[in-house]
Amino acid sequence: MQMTVEELRILEGKEGSLKKRALELIVAYAEALGALRLCKISKAHLYAGAHQYLRIRALEGLDPDQIISKMHFCSDERMILNDVACFAQTDAGPMDPDQWSKLGFSFNEATFNDLFLCRYLHAGIHLIGTCAPYLTGFIPLMGEHYVSTESHAVTLMNSIWGACANADGIEIAFCSAFCGFTPYWGNHVPEQRKATHLIQIDWTPSSIHDWDALGYAIGRKAPAFCTPLLTGNFPKVDINRLRACFAAMAASSGVEMCHILGHTPEALTREMATGNNKVESDVISEKEISEVFDLLGCRGGEVCFVSLGCPHFSIEQIKEVSQSLSGRKIHPRVEFQVWTAAAIKSISDRCGYTDEIEKAGGNLVCGSCPLLTGKFPDDGQYGLLFDSAKQANYVRSKVRGKVHYGTARECVEAAVSGVFNPGS
């Protein structure tokens, strides 16, 4: 692999042991992929905090520095995080760092998480804490190389802005952030971003929920190494619809880039999206959408937990929830959560939306989601309801109770009545 003088200097340890170790792993990753060189990144979005995968028995007794060294940098040598090499901010964490007690975390659990957050802050990483970094200003432009640990954010920022990243993984993203480089491979290379599959959508998605279900259906059909080009009638497409679509798609597939004919900048024409390469074709119709609802639970039933906000809600989505809860009360059995980024919650507080949700008995919480907190009632008797295929998809593997999948409006109605009634 071709190395620059700057990269060789880092590998010789002249810029410290942390940067050296980070680059060693990036070089190993590049060699595994068959990349011929590295490229510089300008932004990093990082899955930071005392997450569940770090709270395993084998790591008990280790301090945060030792855990970070072992699990981010694969090193038994103690690495102290310093001087992140580019603009960096945190992804969603394991809890709301302010409202942790409302979620059922103990003081010790919150303190342990804070110890991790202090390390990242010390290294220069902004503690923003959202899976939707573009809501708070993380907007890489066309051709800009970045890393992100949130799979849907990678698909979204690659597809609708033409930015360049792969869904590498948590460790590799940390290594890139601290050495400043990633392999020039995959979505970083213009020729490798072309569509491989033409997917005709014979169904017209309208609501955000339609797009969520469509994304999951596309992902179920997408084979490994697939970059889809979607064609069809998409009259109301906007960013809230696309982020729901890409979150669901990233949960059911390995897709990291998705062209939409006439809507995304690298797919203004079919020839532009495919590069005139031969592509395979597939069709998605109402049948595949119905299968998603059947699979993720749409038959209704009594619920004890309702969660909205995957990906983290935008301010207009929070406003809609607060308006539909005005003057109403959440059912006493139901725990109702709406998830967003802390910056968006500040706006919601100012606009009075948070107050409206809290007066009804719900919580506007930040920086995490049920999948990452792992805190939800689950006695097996009552179900759990989500407006997101991504949450429903993952959480159903972790609970005894039935998981349901409904629209945001159906979720609010279920939170008030205690019963999920599809079509309400």
Partner 1 sequence: MRKGIERKMGDIVIRGRGVISGKAEGPALVFKTSVQGNCAFDLETGEIIQKGHPLEGQNIANTIIILEGGRGSAGWSCRLHSTVVSGVGPKAMIFPKLDSRTAAASVVAGVPVVTDLDQNPFQVIETGDWLKVDGDAGVIEVNKVPK
Binding-site ranges for partner 1 (CB under 8 A): 25, 28-29, 31-34, 47, 52-54, 56-59, 70-71, 74, 148-151, 154, 166-173, 185-186, 219, 224-225, 250-254, 256, 295, 371, 393-398
The bridge status of strand 197-202 relative to strand 146-148 is unpaired
Query: DSSP characters for 145-204?
Result: BEEES-HHHHHHHHHHH--B-----HHHHHHHHHH-EEES-GGGSGGGGS-SEEEEEES-
Cα within 13 Å of Cα(188), Cβ side:
22
Stated as kind and residue range, the H or E segment containing 407 is none
Q: Which two tokens stand for residue 196?
A: 């491989």
131 or 321: whose CB is closer to partner 1?
131
77 or 349: whose CB is closer to partner 1?
77
Tokens 């038994």 — which residue? 76
135 or 147: whose CB is closer to partner 1?
147
Shortest distance in whole angstroms from residue 173 CB to partner 1: 8
Residues 6+ apart with CB under 8 A from 133: 45, 89, 91, 148, 150, 153
Give CA separation, 240 vs 42, 100, 247, 296, 373, in Å.
25, 27, 11, 21, 24
11 or 170: whose CB is closer to partner 1?
170
Shortest distance in whole angstroms from residue 54 CB to partner 1: 8
244 or 251: whose CB is closer to partner 1?
251
Is residue 181 within 8 Å of residue 211, measured between CB atoms?
no
32 or 141: whose CB is closer to partner 1?
32
Shortest distance in whole angstroms from residue 299 CB to partner 1: 16
Task: Report long-range pairs for 102-105 (Cβ below 8 Å, ≥24 apart).
Answer: 102/363, 102/365, 103/365, 103/368, 103/373, 103/375, 104/375, 105/373, 105/375
Tokens 């590049």 — which residue? 30
Give CA separation, 332 vs 8, 91, 305, in Å.
62, 32, 11
Shortest distance in whole angstroms from residue 22 CB to partner 1: 12
CA distance linking residue 4 with residue 401, whole number of Å:
55
5 or 58: whose CB is closer to partner 1?
58
Shortest distance in whole angstroms from residue 86 CB to partner 1: 18
CA distance linking residue 359 with residue 367, whole number of Å:
21
Shortest distance in whole angstroms from residue 172 CB to partner 1: 5
Shortest distance in whole angstroms from residue 34 CB to partner 1: 8
3 or 347: whose CB is closer to partner 1?
3
153 or 289: whose CB is closer to partner 1?
153
173 or 338: whose CB is closer to partner 1?
173
Is residue 253 within 8 Å of residue 153, measured between CB atoms?
no
Shortest distance in whole angstroms from residue 139 CB to partner 1: 19
